[in-house]
Amino acid sequence: MALDASVRDAVLAAVPGLRAFAISLCGNVDRADDLVQETLLRALANIDSFQPGTNMSAWLFTILRNHFRSEYRKRRREVEDSDGSYAETLKSHPEQHGRMEMEEFRVALAKLPSDQREALVLVGASGFSYEEAASICQCAVGTIKSRVNRARTRLSELMAIDGVDDFGPDRTTRAVLARNERA
Amino acid sequence: MEAGIRPGKTEAKLGRDIQAKIGQQLRALYDDVVNQGVPDRFADLLNRLDKPDDKESR
């Protein structure tokens, strides 16, 4: 099989984002990389069905998500968050506080229902529009919007409880009260 | 709710702060993986598949 250079480059360029999305689905780096590998094999075997000029990244994300839902999802529960391998990948944050915060966030994210989590990741991190995310998830744009909103609401509840010292109500309320007393 | 969130302006501001924080953390987590680039196994895989060779008929 000989790949067109532009196709090959577009596939390679999508790999880092595919991995990040796969990790958010699997919660495990090794399984995520296997998922990416199987996605690439499927994609290249069906490269003729890719329409040149359309978004290669969105096409690959769609294949990855479909494959995950058909093959991986049923096995996900047993491995999710079990080995901390995701945390080990957070190497670019040596600063302890940042790492802890990120780990707390990762745990909160993993508590979301998977349809909400994937919608939030696609729109909030992968940089897809609501329309593209809807196409990847094969649902209505309004459904994506409501999943993203519910994900944000749930995360803010989880984080308000878990991270009061960082940005919770106590500090804000105290600051307001302190100002009022001085006035 | 005993979290002590007061209705009104404080709550609205708090909501915005937390939403900004969520967006920031989400991107940080994601970009952490993206910044690892393309692991060798995937570059190798594409190179292997990209060969118009005749050994493919194994």
**A24 contact B CB<8A:** yes
Residue A120 has pLDDT above 80, yes or no: yes
State the CB neighbour count (10 A cutoff) for residue A46.
11
The CATH number assigned to the domain holding A65 equals 1.10.1740.10
Residues A78 and A152 in one domain: no
Close Cβ partners of A183 (under 8 Å, ≥ 6 residues apart): none
Q: Do A159 and B22 touch (CB under 8 A)?
A: yes
Question: How far is it, in rounded angstroms, from Cα A109 to Cα A81?
Answer: 11
Residues A130 and A77 in one domain: no
Q: Which of A64, A89, A114 is the last residue of a domain?
A: A89
Residues A83 and A106 in one domain: no
Looking at chain A, the whole-number percentage of residues with pLDDT higher than 90 is: 57
Candidate from B10, B30, B46 with C-beta closest to A172: B10
Taking only the tens place, the pLDDT of each residue in A7-20 is: 999 999 999 999 99
What does the buried/exposed string (b/e) look like for B46-57 if buried means 16 or more CB atoms within 10 Å of the residue's CB? beebbeeeeeee
Averaged pLDDT of chain A = 82
Residues A76 and A99 in one domain: no
Question: How far is it, in rounded angstroms, from Cα A156 to Cα B17?
Answer: 10
Q: Do A159 and B18 touch (CB under 8 A)?
A: yes
Looking at chain A, the whole-number percentage of residues with pLDDT higher than 70 is: 73
Cβ atoms of A119 and A136 within 8 Å: the answer is: no
The CA-based angle B21-B27-B28, given to 5 degrees, is 85
Q: Do A169 and B51 touch (CB under 8 A)?
A: no
Domain containing residue A119: 94-183
Q: Do A20 and B4 touch (CB under 8 A)?
A: no
Q: Which long-range contacts (CB under 8 A, 24 or more apart) does B33-41 make?
A: B33/A16, B33/A19, B33/A20, B33/A23, B33/A89, B34/A16, B34/A17, B34/A19, B34/A20, B35/A16, B35/A92, B36/A16, B36/A19, B36/A89, B37/A16, B38/A12, B38/A15, B38/A16, B39/A15, B39/A19, B39/A33, B41/A33, B41/A37
The CATH number assigned to the domain holding A104 equals 1.10.10.10
Query: In the numeric block, which tokens belong to residue B21?
Result: 């924080």
Which ipTM score applies to this complex?
Answer: 0.75
**Most confident among A86-100, A128-142, B19-33 (mean pLDDT):** A128-142
Query: In the numeric block, which tokens belong to residue A72?
Result: 């991986």
